Structure 1
């Protein structure tokens, strides 16, 4: 079981479903949510500024691609920069409603992205991820 995960999605229903499925599967002790990439980056900046202990660092991020304010690709560009190198051990799962082959290829360019899965999140998906990240 992971300590903390971060779900980044602009859809409140998707976030609620994410929380329910993750809680049901005992996949993580704590689920933090952000409604877009900018909110997620602010969360990481707060951790860095407060010199927060590792307990609040999510081990995994579920990331939507298409969001207002700042989408998933833009978030990944920032998160992959030296400014966020403190968090380089955090893995990212892209969770998108469309599986575009071009997006799959683009995701491979980011070292932190370990998988690209189709929404919605399911119990079988989490079982698959448990085996993949353990």
Structure 2
């Protein structure tokens, strides 16, 4: 069981489903959410500033969001600023399975998989072997 998962998605129903499925599968002790990449980076900034001490073991990341999308989040997270914590594994969880997006996600070493929404217990079982 993971200690902390961060789910980043602008859809409240997707976030609720994520929390329910992860909790029911006892996949993580704690699940926190962010509505976009900017909110997720703000949480990670708190860790860097030592105002928060729980680094997520895994991040579920949507690609299409307002304010800051998943690609912008990955670009920022892949910089020197986050070098101390960017070994956190990321699973892109998107409603589109565009082959170009899948290929692009391979440019980010922290992205361990690219899966289609919605999250399921089978997905979590599959991911256990990759984490």
Q: Distance in 2 between matches of 1:123 and 1:16?
A: 14
Once superposed, which parts of structure 1, at least 4 consecutive aligned residues long, lie more than 4 Å away? none
Q: CA RMSD in A?
A: 0.8
Is the counterpart of residue 21 in structure 1 residue 21 in structure 2? yes
Q: Distance in 2 between matches of 1:33 and 1:51?
A: 17
Trace 1:1-134 onto structure 2 (pairs within 5 A). 1-50=1-50, 52-53=52-53, 56-133=54-131
Q: Any unmatched runs of 5+ in structure 1? A: none
Q: Count matched residues.
A: 131
SS in 2 for 1:86: coil
Q: Any unmatched runs of 5+ in structure 2? A: none
TM-score w.r.t. structure 2 length? 0.97
Tell me, yes or no, if the aligned pair for 1:59 and 1:89 is still in contact at 8 Å: no
Single out whichever of 85-94 and 7-16 deviates more from structure 2: 85-94
Q: Distance in 1 between matches of 2:27 and 2:49?
A: 28
Higher helix share: 1
